[in-house]
């Protein structure tokens, strides 16, 4: 009897604890409203950060990213910390910085899409290349990013809005 009592008790306590952490429908609706309000406030103001969690190269398999990668738009500057896999046609010796840079935004344009999210175009010029970041951000904070460069193959990413970034 002693052999099964402690494991059963531990399992019951774990189940009870998991139920306490579950979101109620009201809490979920309130969180979704806060996230949508954050998106609608920060995207037009060009002040947001996207945490990138998946990379989708033009050739090859997509990869889940474990390290912290992001793009951050603030005060007219794009801070890009992204991995790159793909073909490059003209790059500096050693590979250059690829998509790891901080550069002033040359052009920022946004608009609403049919589903209530934002379509954003960001054009930046670095000393190595010119990049167009095409970003789609939805009300729930999910985002998809497509990066086109003059000297590198196109690459895509997915991620989420960092609601804690300020």
* pLDDT of 122: 92
Q: Which residues, 6 or more positions from 53, have their beta carbon under 8 angstroms from its beta carbon?
A: 64, 65, 158, 159, 160
100 vs 111, 129, 147, CA distance in Å? Answer: 26, 12, 12
Q: What is the mean pLDDT of residues 158-165?
A: 79
pLDDT at 144: 92
Which class does domain 3-161 fall in? mainly beta
Q: Is the pLDDT of residue 18 over 60?
A: no
Q: Is the pLDDT of residue 42 over 90?
A: no
- Mean of the per-residue pLDDT values of the chain: 81
% of the chain with per-residue pLDDT over 90: 13
Domain assignments of the chain as residue spans, ordered by start = 3-161
Identify the residue with better confidence: 14 or 109: 109
Question: What is the reported pLDDT for 6?
Answer: 66
Residue 165, pLDDT score: 58
The helix/strand/coil state of 32 is helix
Instruction: Decide if pLDDT at 25 tops 60.
Output: yes
Q: In 45-137, where do the E strands start and end?
A: 48-57, 63-74, 77-81, 100-112, 118-125, 130-137
Q: What is the pLDDT of residue 40?
A: 78
């Amino acid at each position: 009897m002693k052999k099964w009592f402690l494991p059963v008790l531990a399992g019951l306590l774990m189940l009870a604890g998991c139920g306490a952490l579950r979101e109620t429908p009201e809490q979920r609706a309130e969180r979704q409203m806060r996230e949508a309000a954050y998106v609608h406030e920060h995207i037009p103001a060009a002040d947001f950060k996207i945490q990138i969690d998946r990379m989708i190269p033009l050739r090859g398999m997509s990869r889940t990213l474990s390290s912290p990668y992001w793009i951050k738009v603030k005060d007219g500057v794009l801070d890009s910390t992204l991995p790159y896999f793909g073909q490059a046609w003209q790059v500096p010796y050693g590979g250059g910085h690829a998509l790891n840079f901080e550069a002033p935004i040359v052009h920022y344009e946004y608009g609403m899409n049919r589903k209530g999210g934002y379509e954003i175009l960001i054009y930046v010029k670095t000393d190595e290349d010119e990049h167009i970041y095409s970003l789609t951000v939805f009300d729930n904070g999910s985002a998809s990013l497509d990066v086109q460069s003059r000297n590198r193959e196109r690459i895509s990413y997915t991620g989420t809005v960092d609601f804690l970034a300020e």
